[in-house]
Structure 1
Amino acid sequence: MRTYETLTLSVDERGVATLTLHRPEKHNAMNAAMITELAQAAASLAANDAVRAVILAAAGPTFCAGGDLGWMRDQTARDRQGKLEGARGLALMLKALDDLPKLLIGRIQGNAFGGGIGLMSVCDIAVATEDAQFALTEPRLGLIPATIGPYVVRRIGEGHARRLLLNSRRFSAATARDIGLASVIVAPADLDAAVGDEIAAVLDCAPGAVAATKDLVRALARGKADDDIRFSVEALADRWESAEGRQGIEAFLERRPFPWLKK
């Protein structure tokens, strides 16, 4: 794994990677370097067959305060093409994390604002502390939550998005759970244990099946399949033809451990 300026990345013996936002002095606000490095890390993790799951975490008391205001000020000074490039970089970083063919679990402590909610929204599971606070603050700054919008709106639905995106109001962890932004909320002392429970469950699953299921969910939820019946039939046939599919069925029938389980 490479060294990063704004992130840390480690992989344990189980194949669980921990990708940590590491600008605690700036409440992990995303600047140009962090945006670039998150995209690079996502590409590296996607290509690493030894990685089974990824924890997206943050150093310090705040998960992510959104976009760095210095970076935003720099964007306003760029010409139109430069502004488009800056926005595209942010959009492609979010897409790279959303497309990650592994379980991506957010470990959310403290607050998440603006782009921090965008990062939560591309996680498959987001575990948050019960004292966390959230807000989509862009309209208060005269901006809009544009590049995070596709992920946030899909995550929480149009009705909740209209309420929370339009007025920048803060909302609690309980509300985040109720609208589907946070999957689980726990006491701060229980955060790592709750994340560990989610990781343990996915490590029981075949990695190729996890990646294929993630693709299936995205395609069906986003209307990318022209014919849901044909798409799902072909997807199941593909898994029946896969080595994992054959090995899993044979192991179950013969009462042997599944080959993807760590000994």
Structure 2
Amino acid sequence: MGNLNVAFHTIRFRTDAGIAYLQFDRPEANNTINDLLVAECRQALADHGEGIRVLVLEGLPEVFCFGADFQAIHGASSEPQLDNETQSADVLYDLWTDLATGPYVTIAHVRGKANAGGIGFVAACDIVLADERAVFSLSELLFGLFPACVLPFLIRRIGMQKAHYMTLMTAPIPVEEAHRWGLVDAYAADSADLLRRHLLRLRRLSKSGIRRYKQYRASIDAFLTASKMKAVAGNREVFSDPENLETIACFVETGQFPWERRHDASGG
């Protein structure tokens, strides 16, 4: 079963012969991202990154990760929290950069829904495996937001236009389409077996070889580093907009999407 670390509250983490498994574990919050989850992911990588060759990211069977925790944002939407929001975006961007450039092979094993910031985790990984029911979406514009920090990682993986289309349409993309676009590398009805077969191959790689290759890969692709400042600034802009915060509050309190609220207000 490997070595299980039980000290975490939002993730489960274990290691097994050079393979680490990091599972998002917030079933009560649809596996959404909050500051603690980001901090615990970074702590796990800081503590174990030098000793592992492969890192597998997983969610729950029905949801991989559904993006930002609107409950937490609604509860911390007062003016003194705005600097904290910038810091949170900065740390989340650094976490995704760690996944993209760290000295280990990163695999996103996606089952169920991956949305918004969940797509950031997916796009940051070296390899993306999915089950046949997986769906992928960027819902931010429905709330007046846009995926500022996600986009550099997504563009790097699938290109500008496909990322642009996903952002504008906001609709879920089925796994077959995500595979055609290059967001998913392989998928199967039995994704656990698909993961097992990939790990059998990846176990043969040396730690030093992985480290050198990932360092070289990062050195010839400066896009993520160059995009960070604008991404974090864009995130701050949309999450400090009072209208957007009101939209998030309404959704948290009533479950209504913005267009449903407008429809009710117009009496239509």
What does 1:52-201 correspond to in 2, within 5 Å? 52-74=53-75, 76-79=77-80, 80-187=82-189, 190-201=190-201
TM-score by length of 2: 0.77
Superimposed CA distance per residue, residues 83-130 of structure 1 (whole angstroms, 9 cap, x where no aligned partner) = 312222222222222232111111100010001110001111110111
- Cα distance in 1 for residues equivalent to 2:75 and 2:155: 27
Contact 2:60/2:111, CA 8 A, preserved across alignment: no
- Opposite residue 179 of structure 1, the aligned amino acid is W
Query: Looking at CA atoms only, which structure, 1 or 2, has the larger radius of gyration?
Result: 1
Q: Which has the higher contact order (CA 8 A, sep 6+)?
A: 2
Spell out, residue by residue over 1:54-81, the C-alpha distance to the aligned partner (whole angstroms, 9 max, x if none): 1111134211111111123245324342
SS in structure 1 of the partner of residue 64 of structure 2: coil
Alpha-carbon separation, structure 2, partners of 1:94 and 1:75: 23
| More off after superposition, 95-104 vs 132-141 | 95-104
- Does residue 37 of the first structure (1) align with residue 40 of the second (2)? yes
Contact 1:58 / 1:64 at 8 angstroms: preserved in 2? yes
Contact 1:76-1:83 within 8 A present in 2 as well: no
Q: Secondary structure at 1:143's aligned position in 2?
A: coil
- 2:240 counterpart residue number: none
* Letter matched to residue 83 of structure 2: Q
**Identical columns (%):** 26
TM-score by length of 1: 0.78
Secondary structure of 2:107's aligned partner: strand
The alignment covers a number of residue pairs equal to 219
Q: Which runs of 5+ in 2 are unaligned?
A: 225-268
In structure 1, C-alpha distance between the alignment counterparts of 2:127 and 2:79, rounded to whole Å: 36
Task: Summarize deviations over 1:217-240 as a string: whole Å, max 9, x none.
Answer: 23224479xxxxxxxxxxxxxxxx
When residues 156 and 75 of structure 1 are mapped into structure 2, their CA distance, relative to the original with a 3 A threshold, is farther
Ranges in structure 1 where 5+ consecutive residues have no aligned partner: 225-263
Runs (4 or more) in structure 1 with deviation over 3 Å come to 221-224
The residue identity in structure 1 corresponding to 2:125 is C
Q: Secondary structure at the match of 1:4?
A: coil
C-alpha distance 155-74 of structure 1, shift in aligned 2 (>3 A)? farther
Q: 1:10 aligns with which of 9, 14, 30?
A: 14
Go from structure 1 to structure 2 and tell me whether the alpha carbon gap of 1:223 and 1:165 turns closer, same or farther (over 3 Å shift): closer
Say whether residues 1:205 and 2:209 are aligned partners: no
